[in-house]
Chains A and B, each alone.
Chain A
Amino acid sequence: MLSFIARRLGLLIPTFFGVTLLTFALIRMIPGDPVEVMMGERRVDPIMHAEAMERLGLNKPLYAQYLDYIGQLARGDLGESLRTRESVWSEFLTLFPATVELALAALLFAGSLGLIAGVVAALKRGSLFDHGVMGISLAGYSMPIFWWGLLLIMFFSVGLGWTPVSGRIDLLYDIEPVTGFMLIDSLLSGEEGAFLDALRHLILPAIVLGTIPLAVIARMTRSAMLEVLREDYVRTARAKGLSPARVVFVHGLRNALIPVLTVFGLQVGALLAGAVLTETIFSWPGIGKWLIESIGARDYPVVQNGILLIACLVILVNFVVDILYGLANPRIRHQK
């Protein structure tokens, strides 16, 4: 097992360097430079421009810049934003909890609803409910996310006034960021109603971001469940006279969960990508919006290291999924 983990870890190293090289190259291939963007339509004196580029270390040859960058990474330094002069790490730490909170809420929504709908649809295969769930989940899977978000805002927030339009909490509350997770911070603040208010702000964005994972999980659960229910051991369990609920949940669902968990893992990357759009629509102060803006501002350190951090996260999650899979399935473990 250990050698399996070591082998997998070994594969991560070239991937990691590849990501650094790719992001480093991509951002520099975009025309325009940070100084130009900073000055906008204003005058850029060529001498000042050269001086500024020198101060930013951008006048060196590209290979030297890349080596600097790798050296910096080796020291654990993620550099600072060219725009805000804040360290990339601290900006990431302020914004990332917001994205994680949103993503977790979306996964919770998608996971719980998707599992239930999938299981019920599988049990009542061919029924109206089954067709309904499959139809709706396919529609969810086909949804242009930003359009969906706008429609929900128009309907629930503007039309019915049930949910707030945007933001993480009502500004009436002055919540000191302690953990960065608004739900936790609002509880810690001890202000009355703050927690519920933060929760209300989370509902719509979580639904929007969770729509596609919901569809995927519901479909996945249904098919995994159908597969498992046909297996011999389930039939045996039934024959033994176990209660139907026990058969479904203990024997069926537990085994059906394995492929579903893989999908969970795969959805992490998709969630972070979807977060870009969701965060834009709901003014959610997370990393998606941060990175898009940084690409626009040619904020090299933020783009390089922000994407690197996300990539590491995705790699890590998939690594853990791999390992779990290897634990569950010896065949995979011994494969090369």
Chain B
Amino acid sequence: MSNALRPFLRLLLCGALAAASQVYAAGARLVVCSEASPEGFDIVQYTAATTADATAETVFERLVGFAPGSTALIPALAERWQVSADGLSYTFHLRQGVKFHRTAWFTPSRELNADDVLWSFQRQLDPQHPWHQLSVRGFPYAEAMAIAQLIERIDKLGEHRVRFVLKHPEAPFLANLAMGFASIYSAEYAGQLLAQGKSEQLNRLPVGTGPLVFERYAKDAQVRFRGNPEHWAGAPALERLIFAITPEPNVRQQRLKAGDCQIALYPRPVDIPTLKADPALRVLELDSLLVAYIGINTRHPPLDDVRVRQALNLAFDKSAYIRAQYGPGGASPAVAPYPPTLWGHDPALSGWPHDLARARQLLAEAGHADGFELAIWTRPGGGPTNPNPGIGAQMLQADLAAIGIRAEIRVFEWGELIKRAKNGEHDLVFMGWAGDNGDPDNFLTPNLSCAAAQSGENQAGWCHAEFDALIARARQLPDQAQRAALYRRALAIFHEQAPWIPLAHPKQFSALRRDVQGFVLSPMGSNNFSRVRREP
């Protein structure tokens, strides 16, 4: 009987609540048409950008942060920090009076302290930690960045002081701490969940210190947040933030035009001119930390011959590709693994021109005057680096035919593509990389080092001793100018050896309605709406 009554009571209660809550003033409410559903809310378990937007950029904060719209580091939960002279020890002074979110599922009894920092990291690093094994997926980001092999130990020096001790100097370490996987959780909340045997709730109902408080997630439909009035930097202007999950880019655009949402993420480059022409809309653009490239498998003859790789670079009409793929102004041509906006770039380095005569000559020198056969690999659905994969593969195919190379296009579903590409089964593969901490090393080591060639994500399978030594040394130097000099030398080798056809650095776009103020794009590709206000 009581069971039969319960749903009824719940209905009554919900009705009453809904009636009591007024429809919020439009000015304090922001609806964002986002591109995909967050996988979960325990950010350390996930790598997708869309998951980070809904967690790391709203609910959670880290010790250090990126200044809005840049790769510069600023204090966040740590007010200040010191680095020892040998680059091995980092001491952080935590901000006082930082409050965790007060929600229906958790009432904090204390403010942020060193225990929370320790919990957040030890959980990922220490196999003995009670929460370590609870993450069935593991901690992909920390694992991919080999954090466990970097951090020797973490010490609690006081209520508001922690020290990280590294095994070896690592210049990008501070920047790493600003990434989503370094988010600071409430150890108290985690303790309560564990005690109640509800550990899986951490992934469903997150608690953090950030400017926005998680309210509700309706799977594949929307995520709702409210402003955090107790945030240490002051309450955000937004009373409500809603992610309306809209996977079709066409539909996102239509919803924006109809005023259903005020920001549409990831409009397609081809639509930018129409969006710009609309007087009710504004388009934000930023040179992002994206690179689109074609990995040339240097282990497959004749691609092991540097002349052949150079010929491929010379044969591809990059400017036509950029025009067709990204539209006018949608991307800048790439000459190096990372965009020219990043430090450590060499302005003197210019890309391979479109020169068929020289390409043919190089092929002839390599003994392939009659061309040869190879396969171009690509994926079916588009992403930010490669919005319409079919276009690139077909243009490359046509361009290679001009120098006698007969290419076959093979489309693999994404999961299979990465697996096979990591096994090195491809000849040419369309790939992309999104830098996530603004350090050149973040592009080079994961994609072009000898270790990466071993493990497979260096799709070129390219292991060049001198290049590898240069980037390994640069990784350990603390001084940016010294590092930049090493990177310039490495880039020259990269260019000469041509393990990739670097394609483009796509620009990042967001379309918004005119009344949206204070939204800035981040070069890391993350979207943070906590400083947005609406001013009609």
> Chain A: interface residue count, which band?
35 or more
- Are A39 and B144 within 8 A (Cβ)? yes
- Are B221 and A37 within 8 A (Cβ)? no
Query: Interface centre among B10, B137, B452, by most A CB within 10 Å?
Result: B137
Cα A94 to Cα B217 in complex, Å, equals 11
Cα A201 to Cα B432 in complex, Å, equals 37
* CB neighbors of B among A220-276 (8 A): none
Chain A residues, Cβ within 8 Å of B348: none
Cα A8 to Cα B250 in complex, Å, equals 47
Chain A residues, Cβ within 8 Å of B40: 83-86
* CB neighbors of B among A151-208 (8 A): 153, 157-158, 161, 164-168, 170-178, 188-191
- Are B254 and A158 within 8 A (Cβ)? yes
Pick the residue among A41, A175, A191, A282 that contacts B433 (CB under 8 A).
Answer: A41
Q: At the interface, yes or no: A91 with Cβ under 8 Å from chain B? A: yes
Nearest chain B CB to A194 CB, angstrom units: 9
Cα A51 to Cα B457 in complex, Å, equals 19
Q: At the interface, yes or no: A13 with Cβ under 8 Å from chain B? A: no
Given that A153-B251, A165-B260, A167-B260 are known contacts, is A285 also in contact with B47, CB under 8 Å in the complex? no
Q: With CB as the reference atom, state the residue of chain B lying closest to A87.
A: B200
Chain B residues, Cβ within 8 Å of A168: 221
Q: At the interface, yes or no: A133 with Cβ under 8 Å from chain B? A: no
Beta-carbon contacts of A86-129 to B below 8 Å, as 1s and 0s? Answer: 10000100110000000000000000000000000000000000
Chain B residues, Cβ within 8 Å of A41: 418, 431-433, 457
- Are A36 and B140 within 8 A (Cβ)? no
Cα A55 to Cα B143 in complex, Å, equals 15
Query: Interface centre among B18, B203, B452, by most A CB within 10 Å?
Result: B18
Given that A43-B452, A285-B221, A290-B220 are known contacts, is A48 also in contact with B418, CB under 8 Å in the complex? no
* CB neighbors of B among A37-59 (8 A): 37-46, 48, 51-52, 55-56
- Are B418 and A85 within 8 A (Cβ)? no
Cα A290 to Cα B118 in complex, Å, equals 36
Cα A281 to Cα B248 in complex, Å, equals 7
Cα A281 to Cα B219 in complex, Å, equals 17
- Are A298 and B415 within 8 A (Cβ)? yes
Pick the residue among A39, A165, A191, A283 that contacts B258 (CB under 8 A).
Answer: A165
Cα A57 to Cα B267 in complex, Å, equals 40
Q: At the interface, yes or no: A30 with Cβ under 8 Å from chain B? A: yes
Q: At the interface, yes or no: B444 with Cβ under 8 Å from chain A? A: no
Beta-carbon contacts of A20-48 to B below 8 Å, as 1s and 0s? Answer: 00000000001111011111111111101
- Are A190 and B15 within 8 A (Cβ)? yes
- Are A42 and B144 within 8 A (Cβ)? yes
Chain B residues, Cβ within 8 Å of A175: 18
- Are B11 and A167 within 8 A (Cβ)? no
- Are B418 and A32 within 8 A (Cβ)? yes
Q: At the interface, yes or no: B245 with Cβ under 8 Å from chain A? A: yes
Pick the residue among A36, A44, A56, A178 that contacts B136 (CB under 8 A).
Answer: A56
Cα A165 to Cα B251 in complex, Å, equals 6
Q: At the interface, yes or no: B455 with Cβ under 8 Å from chain A? A: yes
Q: At the interface, yes or no: B280 with Cβ under 8 Å from chain A? A: no
Q: With CB as the reference atom, state the residue of chain A lying closest to B445.
A: A43
Nearest chain A CB to B239 CB, angstrom units: 12
Pick the residue among A42, A91, A167, A281 that contacts B244 (CB under 8 A).
Answer: A167
Nearest chain B CB to A152 CB, angstrom units: 12
Q: At the interface, yes or no: B14 with Cβ under 8 Å from chain A? A: yes
- Are A42 and B414 within 8 A (Cβ)? no
Q: With CB as the reference atom, state the residue of chain B lying closest to A170.
A: B260
- Are B220 and A42 within 8 A (Cβ)? no
- Are B218 and A171 within 8 A (Cβ)? no
- Are A296 and B413 within 8 A (Cβ)? yes
- Are A37 and B260 within 8 A (Cβ)? no
Chain B residues, Cβ within 8 Å of A56: 136
- Are B246 and A283 within 8 A (Cβ)? yes
Given that A176-B17, A290-B220 are known contacts, is A31 also in contact with B415, CB under 8 Å in the complex? yes
Nearest chain A CB to B115 CB, angstrom units: 25
* CB neighbors of A among B451-468 (8 A): 452, 455-457
Query: Interface centre among A33, A41, A46, A168, by most B CB within 10 Å?
Result: A41
* CB neighbors of A among B304-349 (8 A): none
- Are A82 and B415 within 8 A (Cβ)? no
Cα A86 to Cα B204 in complex, Å, equals 8
- Are B415 and A297 within 8 A (Cβ)? yes
Q: At the interface, yes or no: B138 with Cβ under 8 Å from chain A? A: yes
Cα A188 to Cα B431 in complex, Å, equals 49
Beta-carbon contacts of A66-95 to B below 8 Å, as 1s and 0s? Answer: 000000000000001011111000010011
Beta-carbon contacts of B440-456 to A below 8 Å, as 1s and 0s? Answer: 00000010000010011
Beta-carbon contacts of B141-161 to A below 8 Å, as 1s and 0s? Answer: 101101000000000000000
- Are A52 and B137 within 8 A (Cβ)? yes
Q: At the interface, yes or no: A219 with Cβ under 8 Å from chain B? A: no
Nearest chain B CB to A49 CB, angstrom units: 9
- Are B258 and A164 within 8 A (Cβ)? yes
Nearest chain A CB to B426 CB, angstrom units: 13
- Are A171 and B138 within 8 A (Cβ)? no
Cα A168 to Cα B218 in complex, Å, equals 12
Nearest chain B CB to A188 CB, angstrom units: 6
Q: At the interface, yes or no: B261 with Cβ under 8 Å from chain A? A: yes
Q: At the interface, yes or no: A318 with Cβ under 8 Å from chain B? A: no
Q: Known pairs A83-B39, A191-B18; list 19 more (Cβ under 8 Å).
A: A32-B413, A32-B416, A36-B415, A37-B418, A41-B418, A43-B452, A48-B143, A55-B136, A83-B40, A86-B219, A94-B219, A158-B254, A166-B251, A167-B255, A170-B260, A171-B261, A174-B224, A285-B220, A285-B221
